[in-house]
Structure 1
């Protein structure tokens, strides 16, 4: 489906170009330099109503150079990583640095924090898939969904496959690369009743294509998810428990990560400033990252500063145990990098897990949220307000679908009011989570 991609040869080439950029920066008078280069290649095909809609092939590459002249910093980048372009990028970065103000926190991460071990994390699994084979997979997925009684239309099915290489180096002598792949299969379907149309979808996303869910299973699941939304009503308004489906609970974890990220903290733009050691969740809840987990979606041996990655506990026994820091944000806060330049990797919850049935029984009466809309989250205050859709729950049983309502609260209160976590863990992304049951939220419906 794509042109041949020799990841090993691409890594060797990128390493040579990064080394060249570092040497040119040294010759041109930079006190320190760091360079990142990457190349990615992939293909996407989509079908709709039994016909091929799109076949897209893409190849992207780039190089980014950051230089330090004293405490002055300059950055420049280019999508052309040829020799002439590299020199031009380095020269531009140095020119920018000479005209910027000094920043005491600027500079490379400390040399002693550089990664020195690079285990095979098994995140690169090329897929030798032809265009015809990809079309067959997408058609099989869509056809399985359209064959389910009640499905009226389709928004299509798609196959995506890509792999890439990234290399990072700096003037500490650090130079390393990592290869990776990502493959997915998805389907979105439409159903109709007297109230109008409803749509929903399902997908599978993996590093190793051998682990993709079958196209038939994805199509049927997309159909079932679509049909169960027919007959939606607006829920009652009140203070109610809310259960977030696994995909939605992952979003809550991302809000937490944004609040403990060093950039938000040193700007004092987080509701979790000065929160280290303070209670945030119930005592039975812990949350950490496992950046070197074999085969996981965000595994890496080093972060974007070249700092070695390690397991970090961000919440331990309900208390904020660590911030999420790059070299720069750590300096701004008077702390040490946690190996999180570029974000957290492979978030995992440590908590007693309950079945969805147990969580629904504990809820009694409330709403199960399966879709969220809008961007109503204030990272400074923690105020939370989102449009939602899902299901009404009464006496611990799902009664009917609901839509066109709002859920609201404050993340501090929501985290403290976490009643349970489900064992229905969504493993398709970097954040692995089951359902979250949160008490006492405002639900505004009809």
Structure 2
């Protein structure tokens, strides 16, 4: 894809944003904010060497949120004409006139907004000039590599190549207008291995802002095939308390649960197992977590959050002690605090490893126990922290993988699990916005055979 894929320049989006804000002011709004975006992409999937889908998407939209005093109204449209913008603002104004006043509603504090002098180019836009024929070839290479790993790979869910670009602008009546253009590309494969009546599926993917940073199609495919085959002939284990290693791709879910527990919405609704935890121990002493919004080409990088509040580097957890919440303006006001620049979520969280040598070193540290490579279900109570999920992976004996295991349930309590982290590996998964290696927990309940 190239610059010509967009119908609107960044300057045009900024002009449209300013127009929406002006219409809101003229209509009687005391404050307003607007988001305008345009996105386009291509997705190609090949299954069993045949083209299965070729998808193109192109979308655009305008949303406006405005306030009459503390009364809030919101409306949106996909039509950029001046009449449509006026109609959308009128709809939001009508809604605001009938909503109840909320003393926490309103724009972000103007003192917290990103200043032009603090803007950084984070290298987030790398269009991929990918003809559909080339995309088909790459998808086929990816799937062929996966299917070629072993004769026991009997079916496929396909190889996929996707590319997407977005142009976005946000502005508010404090005078803030900011825009950026981003890209995201991916390669993936998913295949099915069979042995007798047993069937196992697994996958792998690579994702990046720039196509040059993707793993090769062959590498992605081979990883998917190898992961599927190694799961064959799975067994169950005896029910009991065992140490558990979460492989890096699933270990990030523990960090996600921690983030959710200390995010504004959960806190002001009193729906978190970590209420009033600021400055208190929430993880094992060995855990340090940093947040860096300015990672070049980072998938969660940005100089401002969704409300225009400037982002900052910070230490989120230091020696197991929670240093800060994740707050947007509304949740901050509900809690009597200040926005932390997290309207829209966190930015590139990184958990410092405590053990070198990758996954093998972590398994040696564990000795005998369970390696979890896949989690299933949503058995998590964020109010109490109770945790119960289906799992599969491998049984480990004397630090070495012995055999695959399946049809298991692992259970515990998130508060205790975070405190029982015994080690974090340096096999860091960097494909998303949470940079974290595999994690060893000293003990969990594993339910298998009686």
Normalising by structure 2, we get a TM-score of 0.97
Give the whole-Å Cα distance in 2 for the aligned partners of 1:2 and 1:157. Answer: 24
Give the whole-Å Cα distance in 2 for the aligned partners of 1:105 and 1:424. Answer: 43
Corresponding residue number in structure 2 for 1:173: 175
For the 8 Å contact 1:22–1:34, the answer to whether it is kept is: yes
Give the whole-Å Cα distance in 2 for the aligned partners of 1:380 and 1:278. Answer: 18
Corresponding residue number in structure 1 for 2:78: 79
Corresponding residue number in structure 1 for 2:123: 122
Residue 182 of structure 2 corresponds to residue 144 of structure 1: no
For the 8 Å contact 2:294–2:302, the answer to whether it is kept is: yes
Query: Matched residue of 1:407: which SS?
Result: strand
Residue 372 of structure 2 corresponds to residue 392 of structure 1: no
Structure 1 unmatched ranges of 5 or more: none
Q: Report 1:43-442 matches (<5 A).
A: 43-116=42-115, 117-150=118-151, 151-355=153-357, 356-442=359-445
For the 8 Å contact 1:134–1:159, the answer to whether it is kept is: yes
Give the whole-Å Cα distance in 2 for the aligned partners of 1:374 and 1:141. Answer: 29
Offset of residue 17 of structure 1: 1.0
1:44-82 superposed Cα distances (whole Å, 9 cap, x missing partner): 000011100000000111111110111111111122232
1:128-167 superposed Cα distances (whole Å, 9 cap, x missing partner): 0100000000011111122222222211100000101111
1:97-150 superposed Cα distances (whole Å, 9 cap, x missing partner): 111111111111111101012211001000001000000000111111222222
Cα RMSD between the aligned structures? 1.3
Give the whole-Å Cα distance in 2 for the aligned partners of 1:97 and 1:296. Answer: 37
For the 8 Å contact 2:163–2:185, the answer to whether it is kept is: yes
Give the whole-Å Cα distance in 2 for the aligned partners of 1:333 and 1:227. Answer: 50
Give the whole-Å Cα distance in 1 for the aligned partners of 2:288 and 2:77. Answer: 41
Offset of residue 314 of structure 1: 2.0
Give the whole-Å Cα distance in 2 for the aligned partners of 1:3 and 1:136. Answer: 24
Tell me which stretches of 4 or more aligned residues in structure 1 moved more than 6 Å: none
For the 8 Å contact 1:2–1:57, the answer to whether it is kept is: no
Give the whole-Å Cα distance in 2 for the aligned partners of 1:60 and 1:256. Answer: 34
Give the whole-Å Cα distance in 1 for the aligned partners of 2:290 and 2:77. Answer: 35
Give the whole-Å Cα distance in 1 for the aligned partners of 2:33 and 2:132. Answer: 39
Give the whole-Å Cα distance in 1 for the aligned partners of 2:169 and 2:175. Answer: 13
For the 8 Å contact 1:19–1:169, the answer to whether it is kept is: yes
1:187-228 superposed Cα distances (whole Å, 9 cap, x missing partner): 111111024111111111000001111111111111111110
Offset of residue 434 of structure 1: 0.4
For the 8 Å contact 1:2–1:42, the answer to whether it is kept is: no
Give the whole-Å Cα distance in 1 for the aligned partners of 2:67 and 2:149. Answer: 61
Give the whole-Å Cα distance in 1 for the aligned partners of 2:84 and 2:197. Answer: 58
Corresponding residue number in structure 1 for 2:4: 4
Offset of residue 358 of structure 1: 2.1
Corresponding residue number in structure 1 for 2:38: 39
Structure 2 unmatched ranges of 5 or more: none
1:386-431 superposed Cα distances (whole Å, 9 cap, x missing partner): 0011000111111011111100000000000000001111100011
Give the whole-Å Cα distance in 2 for the aligned partners of 1:385 and 1:137. Answer: 39
Cα distance, 1:331–1:3 mapped onto 2, change above 3 Å: closer
Normalising by structure 1, we get a TM-score of 0.98
Cα distance, 1:89–1:32 mapped onto 2, change above 3 Å: same
Aligned residues: 445
Give the whole-Å Cα distance in 2 for the aligned partners of 1:337 and 1:418. Answer: 30
Query: Matched residue of 2:434: which SS?
Result: coil
For the 8 Å contact 2:155–2:193, the answer to whether it is kept is: yes
For the 8 Å contact 1:246–1:425, the answer to whether it is kept is: yes
For the 8 Å contact 1:284–1:351, the answer to whether it is kept is: no
Offset of residue 10 of structure 1: 2.8
For the 8 Å contact 2:352–2:424, the answer to whether it is kept is: no
1:335-380 superposed Cα distances (whole Å, 9 cap, x missing partner): 1110000000111113423332221122122110000000111111
Query: Matched residue of 2:98: which SS?
Result: coil
